[in-house]
Amino acid sequence: MKPQDIIAGKTSLWIFGYGSLVWKPDFKYQRSKVGYIQGYKRRFWHGDNFHRGNDELPGRVVTLIEDDDETTWGVAFEVAGSQLEESLKYLNVRETVCGGYMTKMVDFFPEGNDQPPVQALVYIATSDNPLYLGPATSEEIGAQIAMSRGKTGHNLEYLLRLAEFMRSSCPHVEDHHLFSIEATALTMVSYLFAAQ
């Protein structure tokens, strides 16, 4: 969906982030809420040859994989009024043009049992995306992240910032995929430094 189609008739929009958006939204918003979406799991199965990697050595970033038994925690940002067009144009370039993500509307459940779900826009990279790398072991993914760097920075920063967000804002969530990759990447980096 084009940004103008997404905002057609809307005065505000929630945007759900689950990767770099949770720690670096870089767009204007009114307010944000920690919470989750149902029916998806977060996986480091998407390649990135721009922000955190290059064509020779693509980095690994997260996408969402459909799984009815899973939930993914992150942050939803409410964008309203004059912020809408500018924020969506920015995200279209960052996520879709540079990142290969497409957009979808999902139910977002703010943390706290007393809050009803709200519809939120989410950026998802599907398996038919040319940058999609697919499943790999935590060791393979951690090693790839430990050695990748792109125009925005090192892939390790992307991983560690997301792990830091989950520990500080979602301490009740046990994300084995994320934390096992973090442990491997940090071990790999310690070897790389020791070898210097």
Ligand X SMILES: N[C@@H](CCC(=O)N[C@@H](CS)C(=O)NCC(=O)O)C(=O)O
Return the SS3 of 80.
Answer: strand
Of 78, 86, 95, 174, the catalytic one is 95
Strand-pair partners of 108: 118
Applying CB under 6 A, the span of 15-23, 76-84, 132-140, 169-177 interacting with ligand X comes to 15-23
The mark string for 157-196 relative to ligand X (x by CB under 6 A, - otherwise) is -x--------------------------------------
Residues 24-43 that bind ligand X (CB under 6 A): 24
- Specify whether 157 is catalytic: no
Angle at 150 between CA 148 and CA 153, to 5 degrees: 95
94 binds ligand X (CB under 6 A): yes
14 binds ligand X (CB under 6 A): no
Residues 108-147 that bind ligand X (CB under 6 A): 123
Residue 79 CA to residue 28 CA, distance in Å, equals: 7
44 binds ligand X (CB under 6 A): no
**81 — alpha (psi -120 to 50), left (phi > 0) or beta?**
left
The token pair that represents 51 in the structure block: 């922000």
Catalytic residues: 95
